[in-house]
Chain A
């Protein structure tokens, strides 16, 4: 197998080209452009009401966008009704047909496309084997567990070999342990099928762990479209920084900046090295510094006259297994979270301990100009 590595089948490209959608007076999707490669898994991430579900329904053809185009494999599909688009969907509630058996559910799309009974039976059996549910073909959906229902929904969507697979919050209804199993399972099946996939989710962990690229949406606008690590390490906007992962937001003044990085004086007086500011801001301008909990470390007592670092007092310490999180109240009154790997048998600092916080490394924090 090493001599002949199996190429996964190449999925079709999906282009969302300047799509805008308005409901009455409000804009649900605002000029979103996404160029998605064949076979890629892209997560649409955002809080509820950010337009991600509307975008999904536009791709499926349930609603017609106000402006813009949707292209699959380079061809515009805007004029095609849902049943003519080669799209598969797994709904949040799975939407399995309750009056049909598992096998009938999976064969439904094949029957609708005019496949003969033998093909239907063979294909539905093959798909059920793929999701490891061959033994439950004769059951009804209500006789299955949530995870099993989801796998049936996935098999049903993939049975018609869609060009685009849409997953609408597919893991939201599953409990935490099962969710991780299913995420791995779906990712495995998606890789095998090579289907271009859009995952709609409000769960940032899910988006970061599953997607090849993440599109972060807020109030209908695309905030950032980048690989998960880039979204996390180099957020394009303050919204992305706060929504993805945890962020401590501190006010400060820009001292100087170049393309490599910047120096910022925090409101407490401490000066830190940061990434180059995102957006235009002149030295002396007000900025918001986003420090992730793991960007900081606790460096000993606060009253030893050391000028380096941010002085503060421990509010609370949480030993979270491999990491330890301290909430530290700094001079300006802001509570700052600090996450560090926990040393062997180390315990948390008791509340009231005076500490100093230092950056865990150079140029980790992101800096955004503050609106005047």
Chain B
């Protein structure tokens, strides 16, 4: 539902004014500052230009970091969708008390501090961690598996952290589907799989798009989890920016990477929205 700007009354605009002012001071202004900074030729001044952008785009290492960050987001989002959809479906189909339990489990990651959560993953995935200990006790492996500081481990940890962002929109979308539709489909001769493919999945598409968007944006910018579970060997954009700014004091370059990262994220958001627009017919149904 898009509201036409002309339909918005002056009164409604006034209600939004405090938030608008907040955004202007603490979001738009710093962003502009960042942009201006990114145009500096060198950390200590030396004229303005697009030198930092040229340096980033011409550098295979930097492009590699950007690429692996965007790809990491894709993997986390896919895993979240794969694991989250059944959870959301279960929640919608469960009786009242079970709904409460499932919702609590889903929300739990949001209720724990990101640092605590991340250290928990280090304990779970470490060489002497729970997973390795269990596998060795069962005799399935002889030497501990390397899970911590691997991309696989990072994807799993990120997926756990971002899961609520995927599951909540999915629950909303699935709840909105009339349960009679599945019954109607069954009576017309469709099995469970066909009903899912032809009715449930298309009608939940708005939730899938929203969930993916949130999960993706959160996963690629998750600085703490990326750094702690990913370890030093893997470099992703948030850490790259941090290093350039704090360690190397190369503020103009850090600003330029930030702007490029922002643009890349916006591009992905735009692509998702395009997908969402294709599903709009379902969304309003």
Chain A residues with CB under 8 Å of chain B are: 60-62, 81-85, 87-89, 91, 93, 95, 97-99, 108-109, 112-113, 140-142, 156-157, 160
Interface of B is mostly: helix
The distance in angstroms between the C-alpha atoms of A97 and B202, with both chains bound, is 10
Q: Which residue of A lies closest to B199 (CB)?
A: A97
Select one of A89, A97, A99, A142 contacting B187, CB under 8 A: A89
Are B186 and A81 within 8 A (Cβ)? yes
Q: Inside 8 A of B282's CB, which chain A residues have their CB?
A: 98-99
Nearest first, the 5 A-B pairs at minimum CB distance are A98-B285, A109-B188, A95-B180, A112-B189, A112-B190
The distance in angstroms between the C-alpha atoms of A355 and B285, with both chains bound, is 61
How far, in Å, is A158 (CB) from chain B's closest CB? 11
Select one of A82, A98, A141 contacting B183, CB under 8 A: A82
The distance in angstroms between the C-alpha atoms of A283 and B199, with both chains bound, is 65
Are A83 and B285 within 8 A (Cβ)? no
The distance in angstroms between the C-alpha atoms of A97 and B203, with both chains bound, is 9
Are A82 and B186 within 8 A (Cβ)? yes
The distance in angstroms between the C-alpha atoms of A88 and B188, with both chains bound, is 7
Are A82 and B187 within 8 A (Cβ)? yes
How far, in Å, is B194 (CB) from chain A's closest CB? 6
Q: Inside 8 A of A140's CB, which chain B residues have their CB?
A: 281, 285
Q: Does B134 contact A (CB under 8 A)?
A: no
The distance in angstroms between the C-alpha atoms of A88 and B183, with both chains bound, is 11
Are A109 and B189 within 8 A (Cβ)? yes
Q: Does B135 contact A (CB under 8 A)?
A: no
The distance in angstroms between the C-alpha atoms of A87 and B186, with both chains bound, is 10
* A-B CB contact pairs (8 Å), 22 listed: A60-B187, A62-B183, A82-B183, A83-B186, A83-B188, A83-B189, A85-B187, A87-B187, A91-B183, A97-B185, A98-B203, A98-B285, A99-B281, A108-B190, A108-B198, A112-B189, A112-B190, A112-B191, A112-B194, A140-B285, A142-B284, A157-B187
User: Considering the complex, which residues of chain B in the window 185-212 have a beta carbon less than 8 Å from any beta carbon of chain A?
Assistant: 185-191, 194, 198-199, 202-203
Q: Which residue of B lies closest to A88 (CB)?
A: B187
How far, in Å, is A72 (CB) from chain B's closest CB? 14
Q: Does B36 contact A (CB under 8 A)?
A: no
Are A142 and B194 within 8 A (Cβ)? no
Q: Does B7 contact A (CB under 8 A)?
A: no
Q: Does B115 contact A (CB under 8 A)?
A: no
Q: Which residue of A lies closest to B181 (CB)?
A: A95
Are A91 and B184 within 8 A (Cβ)? yes
Are A160 and B189 within 8 A (Cβ)? yes
Q: Per-position contact with A for B261-285: 1 when CB-CB < 8 Å, else 0? A: 0000000000000000000011011
Are B181 and A97 within 8 A (Cβ)? yes
Q: Inside 8 A of B184's CB, which chain A residues have their CB?
A: 89, 91, 95, 97, 156
The distance in angstroms between the C-alpha atoms of A84 and B185, with both chains bound, is 12
Q: Inside 8 A of A99's CB, which chain B residues have their CB?
A: 202-203, 281-282, 285
Q: Which residue of B lies closest to A109 (CB)?
A: B188
Q: Inside 8 A of A89's CB, which chain B residues have their CB?
A: 183-184, 187
Q: Does B178 contact A (CB under 8 A)?
A: yes
Q: Inside 8 A of A87's CB, which chain B residues have their CB?
A: 187
Besides A95-B178, A109-B190, 15 other A-B contacts (C-beta < 8 A): A62-B183, A62-B186, A83-B191, A88-B187, A89-B184, A95-B183, A95-B184, A99-B202, A108-B190, A112-B188, A112-B189, A142-B285, A156-B188, A157-B188, A160-B188
The distance in angstroms between the C-alpha atoms of A83 and B186, with both chains bound, is 5
Given contacts A98-B203, A99-B202, A99-B281, contact A93 B190 (CB under 8 A): no
Q: Inside 8 A of A112's CB, which chain B residues have their CB?
A: 185, 188-191, 194
Q: Which residue of A lies closest to B282 (CB)?
A: A99
